[in-house]
Structure 1
Amino acid sequence: MLNRVILIGRLTKDPELRYTPAGVAVTQFTLAVDRPFSNQQREREADFIPVVVWRQQAEHVANYLRKGRLAAVEGRMQVRNYDNNEGRRVYVTEVVADNVRFLDRGDAGGNSEDPGFSQGGQQQQRYSGGGARGGNQDPFVDDGKPIDISDDDLPF
């Protein structure tokens, strides 16, 4: 059996960081994910998907992500339920994130670094193209411009 979810979307509001009574960090946010088609009025629609992040990654998400930022979320779908104040059973469907990647740079005044933390707080490796580019430069910095690729660089 398999329960994996990968989403790319924008945050609808700033993440909310809380701590459990045992001191475990948990952050919740909603990701707006565009649907791949338009409605009858030719307008794009989006799904608003709740995401939950735990522990050190929750703190990083709360510190670095803000409303409107583009993020990729990888995790699992979870359905839980509880009884509300009226005694009715309420079902909640959400994504429990194992990995959250920050996909855009944010504003100039803020921290533009992408720490790219996965569950457990392990920092992920960023793309470091070899050759003339080298370092941690953005491989898409010349977006829309022709790219000079020699036949030696192609894997086939």
Structure 2
Amino acid sequence: MNHVSLIGRLVRPVELQEVGHGSVVCNNTLAVRNAKKNENGQALADFIPLVFWDKTALLLRDYCAKGNQIGVTGRMVSRSYVNKNEQTVYIVELLVEDLYFMEAKKISNQATNTNPEPIEIPF
């Protein structure tokens, strides 16, 4: 059985890449809190590579941003390629099949003024 469910935070901004025949893909990383803590008592995290395709990638782009907490389910896949040094590189990543929104999309402070100037209201 190859079924994985995770909840964590997106590590990078969401960027789509167009690939052949109108498909889109998004590669990102999910920071998942680990039960263990370091010597300073801070929680550790595991960083899981994610791959979103087509509709799931578009949903991620439209409703999520870097730092958002999301839930994902999918299956682990592996692939390999030969790099420019002629070394075989192996990659294991989560192919996301379902995306769950755990919070609203964060908007940067530059786009919206989160601390507007007080308005004088005459009474």
TM-score by length of 1: 0.65
Give unpaired runs (5+ residues) of structure 1: 110-156
Hey, what's the Cα distance between the residues in 2 that align with 1:30 and 1:13?
7
Hey, what's the Cα distance between the residues in 2 that align with 1:106 and 1:19?
23
SS in 1 for 2:16: strand
Residue 10 of structure 2 aligns to which amino acid in structure 1? L
SS in 2 for 1:87: coil
Give unpaired runs (5+ residues) of structure 2: 109-123
Hey, what's the Cα distance between the residues in 2 that align with 1:37 and 1:102?
25
Hey, what's the Cα distance between the residues in 2 that align with 1:47 and 1:77?
15
2:80 match: 81
Mapping for residues 13-92 of structure 1, pairs under 5 Å: 13-92=12-91
2:64, 2:104 within 8 Å by CA — same for their partners in 1?
no
Hey, what's the Cα distance between the residues in 2 that align with 1:52 and 1:68?
17
- C-alpha deviations, 1:117-147, integer Å up to 9, x for none? xxxxxxxxxxxxxxxxxxxxxxxxxxxxxxx
SS in 1 for 2:50: strand
Between the two proteins, what is the percent identity of the paired residues?
35
Q: State the Cα distance separating 1:108 from its structure 2 match.
A: 7.0
TM-score by length of 2: 0.81
SS in 1 for 2:21: coil
Residue 91 of structure 1 aligns to which amino acid in structure 2? Y
Q: State the Cα distance separating 1:22 from its structure 2 match.
A: 1.9
Relative contact order (C-alpha < 8 Å, sep 6+): which is higher?
2
Aligned-residue Cα RMSD (Å) equals 1.5
Residue 76 of structure 1 aligns to which amino acid in structure 2? R
Bigger share in strand: 2
Count how many residue pairs are aligned between Structure 1 and Structure 2: 108
Hey, what's the Cα distance between the residues in 2 that align with 1:53 and 1:86?
28
